[in-house]
Amino acid sequence: MRVRIIFRGLTLFTFQKGSTENAKDGDNMGELTAWLVSDPKMVGMPAHQHIPGLGTIGRESYAGVGRTALKREFPSEMKLSLAGHQLTNGVTVAGSFLDYVPRLGALSRSKSKGIQTAFVTKKIVIPSGRIRAREFISWDWHGNTPARVAFMDTSFQGYGANEVIVDIGDDSDPHGQDKTKSLVLETGKQKKRFWSYTKGNQLVSDIEPNTVEVLITNVGARRSTSVFWGLHMETLFDAAGYERRRVYENTAQFDAFVRAALEYDAAEWRSDVEMMRIGHPFPFLIVDTKNDKLAAIRNTGQPFIIQQAPPHPEGQGTGQGKPDGGHGGHGGGHGGGYDGGHGGMSGMGGMGSHPANDPVSVMVCPLGRE
């Protein structure tokens, strides 16, 4: 059985073995802890308070039928593990996680004092699996185009993720017949088990075969307009114990940004900065309308001759999820799922529509690591 845990929203990832500063693709960093955080001063302020959410797609009893649960009770602390498999302890980091989820210690000039519990709303522990980035921060201007991100008062820039996945398990029991193989959600002395949404040769539009999916979100209220900055990321720095700068040293960078923000939407910027203040390296988008357009579909004058097959999508291996009969390949592809987005949650389907920015509660750079 396979488990896919999806993180969206303000989340700080830490590892048992400490900093990921020198980590490489495939390194085992030990047990993973995901901290959902929110500024305690923002309680009751929908635009700035981050509300945790927990959803699942799976069977809640072995003999039961698959169920989509949008809003589950979310304990303050929980552990997610896969039973019935011989798993290596520890979570390995994929290159995409290291490339596209910023390391706070690299951006900040201060030293972390450790997790500040006043900012923590939920704590999720994952003993084993593989963590990777999936969806990119984007800007909906000529199609929903991936956009580069810069960080205030630093020289860091590049593409960033707004969705992180933890994959656990395999297809050693492709039909979901082994009762011992289940996702275990443990909180205190209580344990709740989930089995794959489908079993046998069943194929559905909601989810891939032999899989349980968990969606963990931590977002504020939707805005009426998208903004190209992300002051909420400052809360990640606060929660991780970094001190705010009194002033930004790169005044030219900050002054130019403020001019652009005021031109774009003065009310939104003034509201954000009044509530969130400044002092940490917050992200803002680099949208180059001349050079960032993706290539259009055009008649090139000659057919493309493929040289090799593409790599398998992350989280899938050769032959995984292969049905025994029928018309496979539509199982996670079209509709269904949590809100009828793209189907199945693979490719960000069932548990949410394709990511944009604030109007669909997807923030600019909500994720960070240590």
Closest CA to 121 of 188, 36, 46, 53: 36
d(CA 165, CA 345): 11
Ranking 5-9, 164-168, 224-228, 253-257 by mean pLDDT, the lowest is 224-228
Q: In the structure, what pLDDT confidence band is assigned to residue 354 with cuts at 50, 70 and 90?
A: very low
The whole-number pLDDT of residue 366 equals: 74
- Report the DSSP beta bridge partners of residue 80: 185
The whole-number pLDDT of residue 365 equals: 58
The whole-number pLDDT of residue 363 equals: 58
Closest CA to 361 of 166, 165, 163: 163
Taking only the tens place, the pLDDT of each residue in 98-141 is: 999 999 999 999 999 999 999 999 999 999 999 999 999 999 99
The whole-number pLDDT of residue 272 equals: 94
- Report the DSSP beta bridge partners of residue 224: none
d(CA 230, CA 365): 7
pLDDT cut 90: percent of the chain above it: 68
Taking only the tens place, the pLDDT of each residue in 132-176 is: 999 999 999 998 889 999 999 999 999 999 999 999 999 888 887
Token code pair at residue 119: 């900012």
Q: In the structure, what pLDDT confidence band is assigned to residue 352 with cuts at 50, 70 and 90?
A: very low
The whole-number pLDDT of residue 199 equals: 81
- Tell me the average pLDDT across 319-337: 40
- Tell me the average pLDDT across 51-69: 93
Closest CA to 365 of 92, 111, 157, 93: 157
- Which is more confidently placed, 93 or 200? 93
Longest Cα–Cα distance in the chain: 66
Please provide the size of the chain in residues: 370
Whether the predicted pLDDT of 332 surpasses 80: no
d(CA 345, CA 5): 10
Ranking 35-49, 169-183, 343-357 by mean pLDDT, the lowest is 343-357
The whole-number pLDDT of residue 325 equals: 45
Please identify which residue in the block is written with the tokens 């798993």: 87
Ranking 185-199, 289-303, 324-338 by mean pLDDT, the lowest is 324-338
Beta-strand ranges (E) seen in 101-221 are 120-126, 128-133, 138-140, 144-146, 148-151, 157-159, 164-169, 182-187, 190-194, 211-219
Whether the predicted pLDDT of 221 surpasses 60: yes
Closest CA to 368 of 230, 260, 268: 230
Whether the predicted pLDDT of 234 surpasses 80: yes
Whether the predicted pLDDT of 264 surpasses 60: yes
Number of CB atoms found within 10 A of residue 369's CB: 27
Number of CB atoms found within 10 A of residue 103's CB: 17
The whole-number pLDDT of residue 120 equals: 98
The whole-number pLDDT of residue 336 equals: 33
The whole-number pLDDT of residue 93 equals: 98
The whole-number pLDDT of residue 330 equals: 34
Q: In the structure, what pLDDT confidence band is assigned to residue 319 with cuts at 50, 70 and 90?
A: low
The whole-number pLDDT of residue 318 equals: 58
The whole-number pLDDT of residue 269 equals: 96
Closest CA to 13 of 73, 107, 97, 71: 97
- Which is more confidently placed, 364 or 239? 239
The whole-number pLDDT of residue 128 equals: 98
Helix, strand or coil, per DSSP, at residue 214: strand
- Which is more confidently placed, 66 or 320? 66
Q: How does DSSP classify residue 195?
A: B
Chain mean pLDDT for the chain: 86
The whole-number pLDDT of residue 236 equals: 97
